[in-house]
Structure 1
């Protein structure tokens, strides 16, 4: 029996809370998670490429492939020479041969820069400030900029020292190295000294000093200039690579063109693959010093990839950097205004495709188009003032360059006044070998995620610094990843879904949470979080966070300030953030992941562990036959929850429909184990009461071997324009438990064994299955059995939606522990209301082996019922009518709107005659409005009225696969079943039901209609409530208590369409109705005196099954106190149903934690 705790405690049962968005039609209740929008045209992106003269600067690519110990062949063979080039900023000129090097060389003997010499021997080149001691015109000498070989510069000497023979020093040696390695004088002297070789004497004494003062040593900030020196071998390597057709020196423009070619090809392929249009155009600077022009109009990249690449490759570099002028021209292009700079630009005018005559053709064609400019430049504005007056007219007043003011204007102003809504332009900026506050201030593009969907660690949103080809490619990939993510994001922001779990005699609530993927990827993030239920200093029960504060706001959503119990204080509040805090934050690198890989039942055996060392975990089993060994290892480490560097991923899949199951061990208050499933394919076993704040919560995770083949797809996580069709499904089904040898207290003690049963729901594809685990030893869980369609006796098993409910029956006089479950779901019901090929069955299986004991269907089973044509995803409601410990009654509804009753004679001598059954009610019809389906089990209660005993069967209809459907007129039903102790018997003494005796069949038209203004009249014969909202439906089970029935409904909403995904969450309601009278019993306010039929629920969305919460008194008050501490937990904070619990002496039994029997 259930024992009351002498301290105040709470009895909880499971709750599933949802917050949804309106969507197109998908074959799943996840259709509510997809935002609905107006038609969206492909985004417009104009790339402005800097074509100024500085783009001819050379860049060394793959410099790390130079091997200094290898001798390369080429023209630089004079070991007595070191070549150099003048270096402006970071633009290095790499000579191809001695001719291009010209007279930029010095003799090795006079090169005194030790820092450079070290670098030349390794990397092959070194850039710093250099100076030579050279002749002055007054007959003296001093440190100055380098002069060419063969040149003496200004001097009065008749025998001058030429540049190649002058001592050459560098700033990097200051205070470190002098003329040679042993010299104590390491500072070049500041004074001019005689330069006559006859009087120079000791060169070290004249050119260097050991005194480190400004007066004595030179100031490198004003002495010499910046040069790059090269080793001969390095220059020969460059020459050799160029001669072989594999150059390593490119101009900046060549790099941009190469990266752009790859970018355009990739964008074209992605656009074709995903069916998402993307429109790209190109602009460049004019060579006549005024603005820029359109060299390719904005057009579909999939169709125009070839011409886009041709136009980019044709760009040449010359002249100034008119950044603001060219951005102003882009502004006129997007607005469809007259051509300004683009009519007289050189080498061409803006192309014909971008304009009609002298007016631009705006690329903006739709109110829902996104518009972007990507500005790539390697410098600051030069020769860039001709548009300032026009820009000032737009923005007001410019400060300095008008570039940043103009980009802000484009970001905040309507650039297409003839189109509905406000059309703006986001500007992304790539600083290519340059960085400045102006460029940062010009960036207005809001990049939240990169191409992989992770947060962008950029210095500023929309701005990127690129200093090599890879960084440039990454910048483009991130920008266009964000652009394409915007167009393929179907989900409304900040929408998360959560469910509250079942727990006995505890004050803790467990929320399974998830959020839909941003770009239609198969993996959805999930989490498990813990909160408490209490009073928070008031008399009202509420959901509380780790600090004891109310966790939910007035709308029923998590407050941003709420911190769940397992989330560390240092990690801050996690609120409704699915990915933050909770169990995911406590995942470690030493997780135990098991699978039923081999025939060994012990999952802890090496052969069943998911780890690279397990040779039984083959590439074929993982679905990667052609993979390398390294790829296999990487996939297995991913499955273990590891990042490539070995750190924990701290990521969980989504528990979309999985409701957790909690078991209590050894009678200890804190020895619990919680189980829940995710669509990444795992059944997680969790210790929800860890000893320390940092201890692992997960004890182990089990992934069925048939789901291992799904891991490569989850690891790759490819995006899709079909956000639901691409979704992965795994262990998303029901989880139940059975305590073998239970003494009745619900606690697993010595000699008792916990068995866990988990289904997949839509997971597993055609082989959706159930898996059973034995937890006799929690450190070594065992895989007991699997039930799937391929197993003998289960040919009609559909998707495993129906929970495995444990009970006892007698089979041939022998007591057996068995599992009751429906045949499951047939995806035919996703789009049709016709008989199903799968799932139209009821099963009873052995609880220890999974072997089928009995089944019913329309043919080929122990009990054949011709009308059992529709699948049965619902839980079977099982009842022990005579309280002898054996189940003798079953009720269940099906996808055809039918309700079935089965009777079990536990004393039958012939097992074949032990179970009979048939229709109790037929409540659906052939018209679309009557296409009613029952996904949830009925709540059954026993009543005594006027000396007669009868049962009420309460259940509601609704299209779970399409919650947004508004065609079906759904109902909530109370059916009266007068045959309490056994079935109706015909004249021969044989059982008969509604399908064999029409007089016993309850049909929709037979039931009286009740409403908030119409109660039951006359003798009670059952009733129906026509759900009043458009599309209102019942999507979860009801509970019966105190002569009342409580159930929730969902009503979809259709908001006005807009350009952004709309969170059309819909309305949840809780109903409370007196079963016998049909009168309302709820109150919409604590002080209300008039009852109502229903109350609106927070948070909005599909509500869960309502659950009861009982606050128990202290033992000293048990016999005297009147209590009103029964509450209903509908998903948000509890609701008071005003149920009196004054203690009376009675005898009772409990077979259903949901409140029904």
Structure 2
């Protein structure tokens, strides 16, 4: 400082197998993309990127000896002749240091060179001055005498604080410091950025520069700031991390009022000048320049944050002032600059320059956004610098890009909704976190990719997405520290509108509807509040974590459990405002499905649309919760940011399976699920919760009503699900995947009163059919069957998954070796077992008796797949089932369409056999995790046959490098299924199949075709490219997503260029042609495009017209122009017409009644 005056404290005064689909009143809703993301092996550890901090330090004269009087004097005065400040009360008298001062093994102040003063608080002049005594205690160093303190100059405290930070072992090689000083007109760069690697001499070098800092001169902030900023903009990154992953921060420190340098011209060094906000006034032009430069640095590709630090006595705050000015929201801290006295604009401008914008405030920050800090001691400086390092560091934590879900319109199955439901979650690998937090958002689908409501692209590229996107469920009132995961979506609705509150009668009111199956009985589910009032369910107090108190601690839960009444618990919670919050688990495999309770189809500009809809979205999360959320009442897309429907994204209710209170209750809280390394039986391991894919079965009844359109009354012929469920219903079914072995069915005809229809619980039995079930991976297939002469709605599932398959070399060839080696058919109304087939089953006849079974030779491996159901005559009854297993086999099961209760000779199952087996000698058998695709074709002789296509791949170990793998895309010909009476065919193997896309291929084999997925080599390892998703057949084209584990996000075997957690492996869409696999004269398989990093399933979305559809990609759509241009991504057009065939693929969302 060169202002020769007292520096006063101015602070605080103050997405089908076939294109054709029937329009019917019964819909099985949902899109068969079941692999949002897969096993967590594909996610690399996150951590952080390189952090670069440039320290620009004020070393003006006021940092030196004179700071003793200005900071610590009881009564200080100015000696004009000697230009000297002193304490006229002789309380702080300057002395030379009698000894060197050391910290962290380094000298920071030298005897006879640096000065200090000793303050005795027992002195009569000050012993009764509480304010002065508190200030000395806050800012000076205590001695052995409780009344005596040693007070040091600002430059001494600066050296000590910096040395302590640099020497700190937690400051490692990922942190780089640069150092500059300014005083008078001298701007000195002590060193460019050097990494704080403890295995180098860099720390010592930087400490040496700090030790040499002395004070003297003025405070030219604009010039100093510009010099510091150019240290970032003029240098390339010195790490292998991309600039997007590098945290850049400029730490600017001064001890008083900056010196105005109005005439200084800022050099922007190639970055774009930003002038959105204005700092200062017309009378302080240099502040305007500084404000513009701060915004420009922040908005540049370097994303440089600026922190400003007020150092020394002029920025001292009392305890009361600190409480008022320092604001904490979530885990973020802010400083309220409006509480700075406006009488000194320099002080307020300096604060605003660095301050972070306070949520829902427009009068603080907007410039540097690194924070404003006050520091009077070396300890304060250490705290401010470490806080800024944390603020600047970029977490590589992965807001994952997976497959969004684009539901089939339940009211018109010929169309897909123009909306996508987009899951996000944050992989936390090298931590003890058992739960990954997530969210679900709703976006527009336009031209093959996603946009937000303001028509901003969701995807930045194939590996990352844009920030500050406003989805349909955005709630601006939400406050959450993670602005990527929580910005918008269902979570923002919980945080913004569902927090617990105190009503006018001082009652604590919960605003979230949480239901649980408290006992084994079916019927109405019990609300969490009812269970808490009842006071008998074990661990019931953990439900508070789902009712808006997600920040409670284990101590809080102990206290709650000790309360004798529900009222006492509520009284306790009233004191826990800081513990309020919500978190959602991740949506990994539980693909969202659309539930439509009502609506009407209308003709609009030549196509069919819908109006007056009541839509909900259902999805499960790893937190152990099933969510039902209002989708919103949009009748069309909103692409201008307006007319986002009120209530969109609002949660209708959540269902918590009671078993989650035993298995993973700690996941209801934000800081308690931290025992991943523990044994599962002891509450450890990763929490999967309700991670299974669910499906819906909807039956509508007519709904005739009048509506007003353009001022006229029109009659609507609508469809609806009535709450009484007599002539219509909304049923949902699903499992837990790795979260358990259960299946649940809920009646959601009345969304306000969800009912449990049944719970299939294999854990409750050690013998019989259910005991052979594995983890409930198989997505339920809902279809009608002929049972005892009656039409019956059935739930058909695979036996499930056995964790023995976590070993990539594991195979099973014996009965009883694994769980899940079966196919099960349950009564979809009550959960009673109707039939099951397995090598483990004892009955070879499969008669009509309740609980009948069929022994199927060869069915010895687990079946986690969805079951493909086929209706051969379009009578609405399933005739055939197809499924693959984890042992390289495919099975066909033929059901008896004439099954009667009084005819013992007519079995329920007419044929159940191994249709194909494709294991090769010396290799691990291929694994089929997904359902086959079924299509019907006609040969040259006019005879029909089916093609059953699948892709193999080990999902359990997606990154395993294994030269013994044999993954393929296969198409099996089945002429037995098209016979008048279906016949058992000879088991197909690779010897009677044509291998396509190879040199000199054979074409005379009659069993089908196969394409060997390549084995790639990277870093001396061999990686099997594999198929981990269901295929999609559109017209005569067959698409698969194939996963290459040798690549990373950017499509190479190098370091990912995305700052998103290092997802290993890339998914690519490929196209084959039906029925022969090979497309025309092509010599290689067609690559359609990259789907993105990780295991990404194919997603079919709407095309450019209402009835068209195309594949959706996680990237900006490419434009194809000109007559000779052939777009790589084909658009398919659907039309409503009568089909001259009786074959019908029972897709998960189409049925008949």
Deviation at 1:935, TM superposition (A): 1.0
Cross-structure match for 2:949 = 954
Summarize the Cα distance change of 1:462–1:385 in structure 2 as closer, same or farther, 3 Å threshold.
same
Q: Distance in 2 between matches of 1:288 and 1:777?
A: 68
Question: Is residue 2:693 matched to residue 1:734?
Answer: yes
Contact 2:30 2:594 in 1 (8 A): no
Contact 1:762 1:799 in 2 (8 A): yes
Which of 16, 26, 31 is matched with 2:41 structurally?
A: 31
Cross-structure match for 1:586 = 493
Question: Is residue 2:766 matched to residue 1:773?
Answer: no
Bigger shift: residues 1064-1073 or 588-597 = 1064-1073
Cross-structure match for 1:695 = 647
Deviation at 1:771, TM superposition (A): 1.6
Question: Is residue 2:850 matched to residue 1:850?
Answer: no
Q: Distance in 2 between matches of 1:732 and 1:571?
A: 26
Bigger shift: residues 509-518 or 596-605 = 596-605
Q: Distance in 1 between matches of 2:23 and 2:750?
A: 28
Which of 373, 377, 381 is matched with 1:465 structurally?
A: 373
Cross-structure match for 1:615 = 535
**What do the CA deviations read for 1:745-765 (whole angstroms, capped 9, x no partner)?**
9964561222111222222xx
Q: Distance in 2 between matches of 1:1149 and 1:932?
A: 29
Question: Is residue 2:888 matched to residue 1:1001?
Answer: no
Deviation at 1:85, TM superposition (A): 8.6
The answer to which structure has the higher strand fraction is 2
Cross-structure match for 2:1071 = 1072
The 5 A counterparts of 1:781-860 are: 781-792=754-765, 793-834=769-810, 835=812, 837-859=818-840
Q: Distance in 2 between matches of 1:1043 and 1:816?
A: 34
Summarize the Cα distance change of 1:883–1:695 in structure 2 as closer, same or farther, 3 Å threshold.
closer
The 5 A counterparts of 1:309-348 are: none
Bigger shift: residues 1013-1022 or 775-784 = 1013-1022
Cross-structure match for 1:509 = 419
Deviation at 1:896, TM superposition (A): 1.9
Contact 1:558 1:576 in 2 (8 A): no
Q: Distance in 2 between matches of 1:674 and 1:510?
A: 11
Which of 961, 971, 975 is matched with 2:972 structurally?
A: 975
Bigger shift: residues 1097-1106 or 781-790 = 1097-1106
Cross-structure match for 1:147 = none
**CA RMSD, Structure 1 to Structure 2 (Å):** 6.5
SS in 1 for 2:762: coil
The 5 A counterparts of 1:240-639 are: 250=137, 252-254=139-141, 298=167, 300=169, 361-363=201-203, 384-385=214-215, 399=220, 457=334, 459=355, 465=373, 476=383, 479=386, 491=397, 498-504=404-410, 505=412, 507-517=417-427, 520=431, 521-533=433-445, 545-546=452-453, 563-567=470-474, 578-587=485-494, 588-589=497-498, 590-599=511-520, 601-603=522-524, 605-606=526-527, 608-609=528-529, 613=533, 615-619=535-539, 622=542, 627-629=558-560
The 5 A counterparts of 1:17-416 are: 29-34=39-44, 100-101=123-124, 250=137, 252-254=139-141, 298=167, 300=169, 361-363=201-203, 384-385=214-215, 399=220
Deviation at 1:586, TM superposition (A): 3.0
Contact 1:1106 1:1131 in 2 (8 A): no
**What do the CA deviations read for 1:645-686 (whole angstroms, capped 9, x no partner)?**
499847533222221222333454402332112222221112
Deviation at 1:768, TM superposition (A): 3.6
Q: Distance in 1 between matches of 2:856 and 2:428?
A: 46
Cross-structure match for 1:657 = 589
Deviation at 1:892, TM superposition (A): 0.9
Contact 1:17 1:1102 in 2 (8 A): no
Q: Distance in 2 between matches of 1:421 and 1:667?
A: 49
SS in 2 for 1:513: strand
Deviation at 1:1035, TM superposition (A): 1.5
**What do the CA deviations read for 1:424-457 (whole angstroms, capped 9, x no partner)?**
998897989x77769x999988899x99995554
Cross-structure match for 1:348 = none
Contact 2:435 2:673 in 1 (8 A): no
Q: Distance in 2 between matches of 1:421 and 1:687?
A: 39
Deviation at 1:806, TM superposition (A): 1.7
**What do the CA deviations read for 1:385-415 (whole angstroms, capped 9, x no partner)?**
49x9xxxxxxxx9958999799779878999
SS in 2 for 1:583: helix
Name which one, 1 or 2, has greater alpha-carbon Rg: 1
TM-score (normalizing by structure 2): 0.60
SS in 1 for 2:763: coil
Deviation at 1:876, TM superposition (A): 0.8
**What do the CA deviations read for 1:717-764 (whole angstroms, capped 9, x no partner)?**
36989899975322221111224698999964561222111222222x
**What do the CA deviations read for 1:1007-1034 (whole angstroms, capped 9, x no partner)?**
2111288777346531001224734322
Contact 2:988 2:1007 in 1 (8 A): no
Deviation at 1:616, TM superposition (A): 4.1
Cross-structure match for 1:716 = 670
TM-score (normalizing by structure 1): 0.59
Contact 2:34 2:693 in 1 (8 A): no
Question: Is residue 2:1149 matched to residue 1:1152?
Answer: no
Q: Distance in 1 between matches of 2:738 and 2:157?
A: 65
Deviation at 1:594, TM superposition (A): 1.1
Summarize the Cα distance change of 1:721–1:629 in structure 2 as closer, same or farther, 3 Å threshold.
closer
Which of 1009, 1014, 1022 is matched with 2:1008 structurally?
A: 1022
Give structure 2 stretches of 5+ with no counterpart.
1-19, 75-87, 94-116, 145-151, 173-180, 260-286, 299-303, 309-326, 336-354, 357-368, 499-510, 544-553, 601-610, 635-643, 679-683, 704-717, 843-852, 1017-1023, 1118-1127
SS in 1 for 2:1146: coil
Bigger shift: residues 710-719 or 586-595 = 710-719
Q: Distance in 2 between matches of 1:11 and 1:810?
A: 19
Deviation at 1:921, TM superposition (A): 1.6
Give structure 1 stretches of 5+ with no counterpart.
21-27, 60-83, 106-124, 128-227, 229-237, 239-246, 258-282, 304-321, 338-352, 366-370, 376-380, 389-396, 535-539, 986-990, 994-999, 1084-1089, 1114-1123
Bigger shift: residues 1092-1101 or 820-829 = 1092-1101
Contact 2:800 2:863 in 1 (8 A): yes
Q: Distance in 2 between matches of 1:418 and 1:1050?
A: 29
Contact 1:291 1:323 in 2 (8 A): no
Which of 922, 929, 934 is matched with 1:935 structurally?
A: 929
Contact 1:953 1:975 in 2 (8 A): yes
**What do the CA deviations read for 1:873-905 (whole angstroms, capped 9, x no partner)?**
110112233444432321111122221222223
SS in 1 for 2:669: helix
Q: Distance in 1 between matches of 2:163 and 2:465?
A: 50
Bigger shift: residues 583-592 or 33-42 = 33-42
**What do the CA deviations read for 1:5-45 (whole angstroms, capped 9, x no partner)?**
99xxx99962659898xxxxxxx533333368999999999
Q: Distance in 1 between matches of 2:209 and 2:525?
A: 54
Q: Distance in 2 between matches of 1:610 and 1:411?
A: 59
